[in-house]
Structure 1
Amino acid sequence: MNIIKMIVVASYAILGAALGVVIIPSVARDTGVLNAYPWLTNKYIISLIGIVLFFIIFGVFIPRVIKSLRKLEYFIMRHSAIEILFAAIGLIMGLLISVMISFILNLIGSSLFLHVLPIIITVFLSYLGFQFGLKKRDEMLMFLPEKMARSAHLNTYSAAPKIIDTSAVIDGRILDVIKCGFLDGEILIPQGVINELQIVADSTDSVKRDKGQHGLDILNQIHDASYPTRIIHPQKSYNDIDALLIKLAHKYKADVITTDFNLNKICHVQGVKVLNVNDLSEAVKPTVRQGDQLNLLLTKMGKEPGQGVGYLEDGTMVVIDDAKAYVGKHVDIEITSILQTSSGRIIFAKLI
C-alpha cells in the first residue's frame, strides 16, 4: 500500500469515527432506540460503527480520491517553491476578500445572502486568487526588493522533462549528450520504450537483435548515470509507440528526444517540442561551405555512373562526379553544393 492510499484510508477512518460519535447517538435518541440499546452511547463502539458505515457508503470513491491527490501532487511537484508560495498568497488574499464580502452580506440580513452566496463567493475568489498568484508571480515580484526579486525569478525556472524515444536510445549518441551536460530537466523513460527494446533484442534477426541489445545497454547506462531519470508507466496500453509518446508528452508537458523523422513530423503537428539528435549532430558539425577545397579518401563508387564517394571525419557523405577511377585513393576536391535534410547532410563535389 503506497503512502497516498494509506493517507486516504486513515482519513476515511478518522472521518467515519468522528461522524459516528456525533451522529449515531443523536439518531438513536431521536428514533427512541437508545433505551433498548444503551451501548450506542459508548464512544468506542459507535466509532467503529461509524468507520464501517463510512467505508460502506463512500468506499467506492477511494480510487477517485487517490487519483485526485496524485494529480495534486504532480501539480505541486511540477511547479517551483516560489510559484506555490505566490499561489498560496493569492489564495489567502482571495479568502480575506471573501470574508469581507460575507461580512457585508451579513449586515444585509437576507437568508439567501447568508447561506448561499458566501459559499459561492469563497470558492470563486479562492480559485481566482490561487490562479492569480500562480500566473502573475512575475508582476508580483516587482513589489519585492531588486535582489530578492531577481533571486526569486531565477528560482521559478523549471526545465521541461524529456521523454526519450526508442530510436534515440538505439542511436546511442544521446548518452554522450547527457554526460556532457547539454540537457536539462528530468529524463522520462516510458515502459513502452523498454518493452519495444526487449522485443527487438529477442528478435530472430541478428541485426535487429544486436540493435536491441545495444539499446538496452544504452538505456541501462542512461538510467545509472548521475542524471535524474524516471521510468513512467502509462495507465492505458498503446499498440502504437508514437501515439504513446505523444500522449505522455502532453500529460507531463515534456519534450520528446528522437531520431525518427516521421515521429518528428507527428510531434510538430501535435504541438509537442522535439529534440532531434540528428539536428543536434548537424548543428555541431564543422562548417563546410560551397567552394571549400578538401583532400578526401574515396572509399566506394556512387549510385550514378562515374561517381565516387568519400566521408568526412564526422561521417558526412561526399559525392564526387567523374571520380570512379580514383576509388581507394586520396584526391583534392572542391565543394559544389550541399543538400541539408533532417535525416542528414550530403555534400556534392568535383575534382580539382
Structure 2
Amino acid sequence: MALIVLRFVFMLVAAGVGITLIKVEAFQSVLKDEPWWAFLGIMVLALGVIGIDVGVKQKRYDTISGVYFGLLVGLSLTYILGLITQVWFPADNPSAVTAHRALQLVIGMVLCYMCISLVLQTKDDFRFIIPYVEFAKEVKGPKPYVLDTSIVIDGRIADVVETGFFDNVLIMPRFVLAELQGIADSSDKLKRSRGRRGLDILNRLRNNDRVDLKIHDRETPDMEGQPVDMKLVLLAKLLEGKIVTGDYNLNKVAKLHNVDVINLNEIANALKPVFLPGEHLSVRIVKKGEEESQGVGYLDDGTMIVVEGGRDHINSQVRILVTSVLQTSAGRMIFGRYEAVEGSQGGSSGGGHKSHANT
C-alpha cells in the first residue's frame, strides 16, 4: 500500500514538473507551438521509472524512516549533480538558469524516487560500511526459527509449537512454500498427499493465535541458482536464526556453515524413556531376531528391543531384564534377556513398561 501511494505521489510530482517545463522559455523556443510534448515526455519518463521498479519482483513495504533516509540521499545527490551540471548553464543567461533549474527538478524527481524505493525494498538487509568498519542490523530477542519442507510435511512441528515449547518467530521462506506447493501438485499420489498434508499443517500454524508465523519473501543475490537446502542455510545466516528440520543431510550442511539446527528427530530421541541395565521391562515379542533364539519387540515410541531367548515367545507379552542400551544415529536400541511370560496370546501389539530389578 505504501509503495502504491509513493507511485501516485510520484506521478503528481511528475505532472507538476512537466507543467513547469512548459513555462520555460528555452523549451518553448525549441518546441515552438507544441510545448505539451515536454509534459508528455516527463510523464512517459515517470511511467518508465515506475515500470522498471514494478518489474523487479519481491517488494517489501516501507517504514517512515526509510522514506526520510531515501529522500535525504536523493536530495543530496540532486544537489551534487546540480553543482556539477551548473558549468554548462551560464549564470548570466536567465534562460539557461531556468533550464538548469528544470533539469534539477527532473534529476531530483527520479533520484528521490529511486532512493526511497531502494531503501524500502532492502531495509531488512541494510548495511552501512566505511573502511574497516561495518554497521549492521543486530537481531535482539529470541532467534527466529526457519522451517524447511521436511519438517512441515512431517507435521510434528504443529504439535510441538502448540505445547508452548517453541515461542520464537517461525519463518516460512517463500521458496520452501513454492516447493511444498509443487509437491502438492505432483502427479504422484503419495507425493501429492504429503504436500497437501504440509499445506494443512501451515494453515494450522497460521490459524493458531499463539504462533507467530511469517512468510519471508525476499531472496538475496547470493541465493540465485542455489538449491533449497543452501538457500535455507543462507537465509538462517542472514536472519541470525536457527533451522528447524528433520532432514539428516540439511542438518550436516548447516553445521558445516556454523548455522544452528533444531532437529526434531534428535528432540524426540532425547525425550524417549531411559532404560538402564538391570531394570525390568515388559514388551510384546512380534518377530524373530537375526541371531538364533532372539526375538524382537517395539515400544510405543518405536524403540526396538532385541530379546535374547525370546524367539520361542512370539506374540507373547514377556518380562525381560535390560542388559544394554545402544544409541545410534537412527535411534535407540535396547537389548535384554527373557525372564518370563507376562500376558496371554491375545495381548496388545506393542508398548511396554519398566520396573527396577529386585535387590
- Is the pair's TM-score, using the shorter chain for normalization, greater than 0.5? yes
Q: Which amino acid aligns with 1:315?
A: G
2:146 aligns to what SS in structure 1? strand
Query: 1:330 is matched by which residue type in structure 2?
Result: Q
Q: Is the partner of 1:293 in helix, strand or coil?
A: strand
Contact residue 70 and residue 118 of structure 2 kept, 8 A:
no
How much identity, in percent, do the aligned residues show? 32
Name the structure 1 match of 2:214.
Answer: 230
Deviation at 1:59, TM superposition (A): 7.1
| TM-score of the superposed pair, with normalisation by structure 1 | 0.64
1:29: Cα distance to partner? 8.4
Provide Cα deviations, 1:19-41, integer angstroms capped at 9, x if missing partner.
59x979x879843221x578x39
For the residue of structure 1 that corresponds to 2:275, the secondary structure is coil
SS in 2 for 1:309: strand
Unaligned stretches of 5+ in structure 1? 76-122, 136-155
| Comparing 224-233 and 11-20, the one that deviates more | 11-20
Matched, 1:323 2:310: yes
Deviation at 1:277, TM superposition (A): 0.6
Q: Secondary structure at the match of 1:54?
A: helix
Residue aligning to 1:293: 280
Q: Which residue does the alignment assign to 1:52?
A: 106
Partner secondary structure for residue 248 of structure 1: helix
Higher mean C-alpha deviation, range 326-335 or range 312-321: 312-321
Q: Write the distance in 2 (CA, Å) between the matches of 1:182 and 1:211.
A: 25
1:15 aligned residue: 75
Paired residue type of 1:319: V
Pairwise mapping of residues 269-348 of structure 1 onto structure 2 (< 5 A)? 269-304=256-291, 306-348=293-335
Helix, strand or coil for the counterpart of 1:287? Answer: coil
Task: Determine helix, strand or coil for the equivalent of 1:53.
Answer: helix
Matched, 1:33 2:33: no
- The answer to whether the aligner puts 1:182 opposite 2:165 as a matched pair is yes
Equivalent residue number for residue 3 of structure 1: 62
Q: d(CA) in 2 for partners of 1:321 and 1:200? A: 44
Mapped to 2, the partners of 1:17 and 1:208 lie a distance apart of: 54
Q: Gaps spanning 5+ residues in structure 2: where?
A: 4-60, 340-359
Cα distance, 1:218–1:342 mapped onto 2, change above 3 Å: farther
Q: Deviations over 1:28-77 (max 9, x none)?
A: 9843221x578x39xxx94x5422133567877666555554434x99xx
SS of 2:214's partner is strand
CA distance in 1 between counterparts of 2:117 and 2:236 reads 24
Question: How far, CA to CA, are the matches of 2:242 and 2:330 in structure 1?
Answer: 19
Aligned-pair CA distance for 1:341: 2.6
Provide closer, same or farther for how the CA distance between residues 342 and 165 of structure 1 changes in structure 2, counting only shifts above 3 A. farther
Aligned residue identity for 2:299: L
Q: Note the aligned Cα RMSD (angstroms).
A: 4.0
In the alignment, the residues of structure 2 paired with residue 248 and residue 29 of structure 1 have an alpha-carbon distance, to the nearest angstrom, of: 50
Q: Distance in 1 between matches of 2:111 and 2:196?
A: 52
Please tell me the residue identity of whatever aligns with 1:165: D
CA apart distance, 1:159: 0.7
Aligned to 1:82: none
Q: CA deviation at 1:217?
A: 1.2
> Does the 8 Å contact 2:307/2:336 carry over to 1?
yes
- Report what 2:7 is aligned to: none
